[in-house]
Chain A
Amino acid sequence: MNNEAMLKTITDKHPRAIKGSAEKFGFLEIRVAREGIAEVVKTLWDDPELAFNVLIDMVSIDYSAYPGWAGERFGLAYLFKSLALGHRVQLKVAVPEDEPVVPTLSGLFSNANWLEREAYDQMGIRFAHHPNLKRILNHHEFVGHPLRKDYPITKRQWLSANESLMDEMEVSLKKKGYE
């Protein structure tokens, strides 16, 4: 399926969620409304002609130092690939600074769980209905979100305690059938 047909299929199903599109280097990029991202991704997954079954990556962007930028401060870029059909697509979501909340994709793609935790940890974007939205790289005592452009790069924070990580381990063990 080529890019035009792909865009038409998605736009026909979600006319209000699609805010625009672009094609860069033969790669389709679709701008999606923040509220509609979960439904659009559900379509990408369900539609047999799209069949996007891999979330390759999710990137969070801080546009506050971007030259000539007039849009919202934060952005999220989702990269999907279909292993069966071999095509890719990028979805972009604008996230406002005053309410950086986006619906979670962790129900559809398991790896979105950790990718969204990383975006929350480093950029401060929250994900509604995420099962375990806590910091993944930084320590739980860490204050602030270090990849935001207004976080001073050399601002260091002394931390006092070791992290046991047992809360996560217990959830994982339970999932695998160990009690």
Chain B
Amino acid sequence: MGMTGEGFPAITTRRDAVVAWGQKNSLWPMPFGTACCAIEFMGVAASVFDISRFGAELVRFSPRQADLLLVAGTVTFKQAPILRQIYEQMCEPKWVISMGVCASAGGFYNNYCTVQGIDQVVPVDVYISGCPPRPEAILQAVLKLQDKIDRPQAVPPAQFKVKEPQFDY
């Protein structure tokens, strides 16, 4: 953006830049909380850490009203079709944060019933490590995502790897 002279009340910019600026500063998260990471997210939303400083405080519990899916917790194979359906119900543009090691890689649940990373079900933009992550880590993930919305060419695209066996919801 560039400001013109003092006497001329207008700014020049690109449309993409304005839209991205609006999107990144008003993320509406939908928490898909299945385990203790969701409790940690409550701490992030509350006043001490205060996710509203980054414009992402308006937590919606309907996927139709949200553009940031925050998967917090262990996702089982029984839960995977539900997660996929919720992701598909969200309007474009939409982003996904995989919060905690269980959502990102299955965590220590290396067993028959846990999905080993939600990137096998939905595309993921930002992963957060930790069990559970510190609130600062979640805020950093929001900042990373804002960076990604602002400069899509500067960061890697969403991870989505369908492993064996193939599935079709």
Contacts and interface: CB of A to CB of B under 8 A. Distances in A.
Asked if A and B bind, the verdict is yes
Nearest to B78: A139
Interface residues on B, range: 10 to 19
Interface string A148-165: 000111111111111100
Interface in B146-169: 165, 167-169
Contacts of A160: 81, 167-169
A110 interface: no
A161 B113 contact: no
B165 A158 contact: yes
A154 B80 contact: no
B111 A153 contact: yes
Contact of A139 (B77, B85, B167): B77
Contacts of A154: 110-112
A157 B112 contact: yes
Interface of A is mostly: loop
Between B81, B111, B115, the greatest number of chain A beta carbons within 10 A of the residue's beta carbon is seen for: B81
Contact of B82 (A156, A158, A162): A162
A158 B112 contact: no
Nearest to A139: B78
Interface residues of A, number: 16
B77 A151 contact: no
B112 A159 contact: no
A161 B82 CA distance: 8
A138 interface: yes
A152 B110 CA distance: 11
Nearest to A140: B78
A146 interface: yes
Between B78, B85, B116, the greatest number of chain A beta carbons within 10 A of the residue's beta carbon is seen for: B78
A162 B89 CA distance: 15
Contacts of B115: 156
Interface of B: 77-78, 80-82, 85, 110-113, 115-116, 165, 167-169
Given A139-B77, A156-B116, 18 more contacts: A138-B78, A152-B112, A153-B112, A154-B110, A154-B111, A155-B112, A156-B77, A156-B112, A156-B113, A156-B115, A157-B77, A157-B112, A158-B165, A158-B167, A159-B77, A160-B81, A160-B168, A160-B169
